[in-house]
Amino acid sequence: MAALPVVRATRYVDPLREGGSMPGLMEADDDGTYVVKYRGAGQGPKALVAEVVAGEIGRALGLPVPDAVLIDVAEDFGRLEIDYEVGHLLRTSVGLNYGLDYLPGSITWDPLVPPPPDPAFAADVVWFDAFMTNPDRTARNTNLLEWHGRTWLIDHGAALYFHHDWGDPLARTTDPFSRVGQHVLLPFADDLAEADARAHERLSRNVFEAILASVPDAWLAEHYADDPVTVVRERYLAYLEARLAASSVFVTEAADG
């Protein structure tokens, strides 16, 4: 699995005033346009760690996640921004931030609009979100986009909630994730045991190691100052391996939901 490419921000296009993170639409020196989540936003770098880890695991599972980059914001980038809130956000987000490829013309997926999703796809997404402990794929907030005939997965910053209260990460790996019962795709999902088998074929320690290597050191160091980033990465790795080994717990919870 290749490391996430690093691009340099060249123009701030527009704020996307959704939720507390206030992502922004930005252009970069690779001629791409990205929806950017900022390290200086209220959720802080942990949300960006979750975006990288969950997004790349989703991609490893074969799920449609927009292409991601690390987008470098220069120190003087926000100095001429007339919107105080945006300017402050840019000034506190100097360095690497998280960007997803912008999908122009995409619309929010609606479970009431036919056709229904493919049952195997629905099961794979339910499994993925339960594995990542992602609470943000509900009927109220689907975090799914329709674009070019496919349903795309976005916004994973709330996943991996164990890292907001670190404690013993292995103690959280057997969490059945009861909120999976509210998953917007659960009513459409077919055999979750088969989704579990597919996931185990695609995920492994090597996959997790490659994904965690893409997380910038600065994001890990900012909130874990007492530990070297190598130790922090190892904690995430241990959690993901143990969570995968305990997948029957959340598969059973989802099937009963």
Phi, psi (deg, nearest 5) at residue 118: -60, 130
User: What was the pLDDT predicted at 1?
Assistant: 62
User: What was the pLDDT predicted at 18?
Assistant: 65
User: What was the pLDDT predicted at 167?
Assistant: 76
User: What was the pLDDT predicted at 103?
Assistant: 97
Cβ(68)–Cβ(55) under 8 Å?
yes
Query: What percentage of the chain has pLDDT greater than the value 70?
Result: 96
Q: Does residue 74 or residue 19 have the better pLDDT?
A: 74
Helix (H) or strand (E) holding 70: strand 68-73
Cβ(68)–Cβ(210) under 8 Å?
no
Which amino acid, residue 201? Answer: E
Q: Residue 42 — very low, low, confident or very high, per pLDDT cuts 50/70/90?
A: confident
Q: Residue 230 — very low, low, confident or very high, per pLDDT cuts 50/70/90?
A: very high
For the chain, domain boundaries: 6-101, 107-256
Q: Residue 82 — very low, low, confident or very high, per pLDDT cuts 50/70/90?
A: confident
Q: Residue 22 — very low, low, confident or very high, per pLDDT cuts 50/70/90?
A: confident
User: What was the pLDDT predicted at 83?
Assistant: 83
